Amino acid sequence: MNMKGLLFFESLCCLLNEKRGSVLYLTANETPYIRVGKTLSKIDNLTPVSEKLIVSLINLLVNRSTVNIKKPFMEAQFNYDSKDSGKFRVLISRSSDGYMLAVSPVHDDIPEMDSLNLPHRMKQLIHVQSGLLLIIGKRNSGKSSTVASLVDFINKNYSKRIMVMENSLTYLHKDWLSTIKQSFFRASDILNLSNAEFDKTIGDSSVVALDGFPMYETIRLSLVAARKGVLVIASSDINGGVSEALRLMIECFDENDRNEAKKTLSATLKALIWQTLLPKNDGTGVMPIFEMLINDPIISSQIYNERFHLIRPTMAAGSSRGMVTISQALAGAGDFLNKDAMRKFRDDTYSYYVNSVKEAYY
């Protein structure tokens, strides 16, 4: 059973890579699922996995792990090295319905900031000691790579205590000059995490990174951490431009909490970056495009007073301070981009500018 179970698990890991999936889910008495982007799909030609096989597989993986895991346990996470498929992060959790495994591919080769063509101003901002750096964009726009790259730069250049909280462990960090604690959290875990519990979770961390969680929870927890005076690097699936995103962030709080949220966001935000990927003109891949807001007293006042229609004109006039509107970014990169893709993106972008705020999670 052990060898058969291991071969079965290896085949699923291989399939996860082939489909370029982010998470494989194994639950007793259910067909395995794979998440690719936003889509969660059952694996074809597989029958539901028995509870006996799940338990046997868990025991096998736990025994092979180098992490000291005491039984019985409600939750455990560790790395798994596959000879043929690379490295994976395995999360095992137990509920009243039985055990569940979540398996994510991880990479040691974290991209450097220069390789991602991140704006020069972003490289300067990463040296700040506190505040909120927020990266937004639709799914699969490279936000997780950007967050990982920023965390890796801090890790290799500063002595910090870093807490990384992710919904999908794409990159595996290891300690350099800093000490890193990297943890997988399901969306349901974050939904049920109170502000006080989150404060206890991050402890005395001086840098907190949040990646892959719903917008409200990302903003809520980011503001909790920012109030403590730590540096927060967070990503959120919001598409449509920085001024539109700021409106959404504030409107997601109920009226009783909105004023405090505006006060904290306007005071602690360092930068808000809208990131998207567009195909290159020569067909060799994609190119990142960034709209970048840098907070200053004028922007801060506009955020707090909800004068969102003034933010983009202020950004356009603030290019000397590193601010870039999406129109300026496209103009600067136009010669390198596929013309049809850029034209479609311009049309889609214009709809955000002239219409009322529009949520685009796609």
pLDDT 10s digits, 95-126: 777 888 999 898 888 999 999 989 888 888 99
Counted domains in the chain: 2
Residue 68 CA to residue 164 CA, distance in Å, equals: 21
Asked if residue 42 is part of any domain, the answer here is yes
Contact of 261 with 223, CB cutoff 8 Å: yes
Range of the domain at 95: 2-106
Query: Which pLDDT belongs to residue 353?
Result: 54
Least confident of 206-215, 288-297, 331-340: 331-340
Phi, psi for 224 (deg, rounded to 5):
-60, -45
The CA radius of gyration of the chain, in Å to the nearest whole number, is 21
Asked if residue 362 is part of any domain, the answer here is no
Is the pLDDT at 361 greater than 50, yes or no?
no
Residues 89 and 193 in one domain: no
| Helix, strand, coil tally for the chain in percent (to 5) | 40, 25, 30
Contact of 342 with 118, CB cutoff 8 Å: no
Which of 75, 106, 137 delimits the end of a domain?
A: 106
Residues 313 and 221 in one domain: yes
Asked if residue 361 is part of any domain, the answer here is no
Query: Which pLDDT belongs to residue 360?
Result: 34
Q: Can you give the CATH number for the domain in which 302 is found?
A: 3.40.50.300
Query: Which pLDDT belongs to residue 351?
Result: 59
Higher-pLDDT residue of 164, 341: 164
Which of 84, 106, 128 delimits the end of a domain?
A: 106
Kindly list the distances between the CA atom of residue 1 and the CA atoms of 12, 31, 52, 57, in Å, as whole numbers in the listed order: 16, 19, 10, 9
Give me the residue label for tokens 């540096």: 231
Contact of 294 with 323, CB cutoff 8 Å: yes
Within the chain, residue ranges assigned H as helices are 2-18, 51-64, 120-125, 143-157, 187-191, 195-202, 215-227, 242-251, 255-268, 297-304, 311-316, 326-333, 339-354
Q: Can you give the CATH number for the domain in which 46 is found?
A: 3.30.450.90
pLDDT band at 84 (very low <50, low <70, confident <90, very high): confident
Phi, psi for 129 (deg, rounded to 5):
-90, -20
The structure's pTM equals 0.81
